[in-house]
Amino acid sequence: MKLSANYVYLIRRAAKENRVSVRAGRSVPRPIATSSSAENLLKAVAAEIGLGPAIEILSGERAKVRAVIGG
């Protein structure tokens, strides 16, 4: 198979234009869009791990937030 130099340059240019930039660092979680979906997620987690452990986790997170905001 023979390729002309122009064809090779066209392929290279197309490859550069189609590249996706990759960010360095850790990924950022996507926010939950609505409060009702957040509530549903919270209910599902509580159902999965149990209400007691879920409350303990939430209490711990509340303490962390209060420590940060000074409340």
| pLDDT tens track for 30-69 | 665 677 788 888 888 889 899 899 999 999 999 999 998 8
- Residue partners of 65: CB distance under 8 A and separation at least 6: 71
In this predicted model, which residue has the larger pLDDT, 11 or 44?
44
Going by the DSSP 8-state scheme, the letter that residue 2 receives in this structure is -
pLDDT at position 64 is: 92
pTM score of the predicted model: 0.46
23 pLDDT above the threshold of 90: no
In this predicted model, which residue has the larger pLDDT, 10 or 35?
10
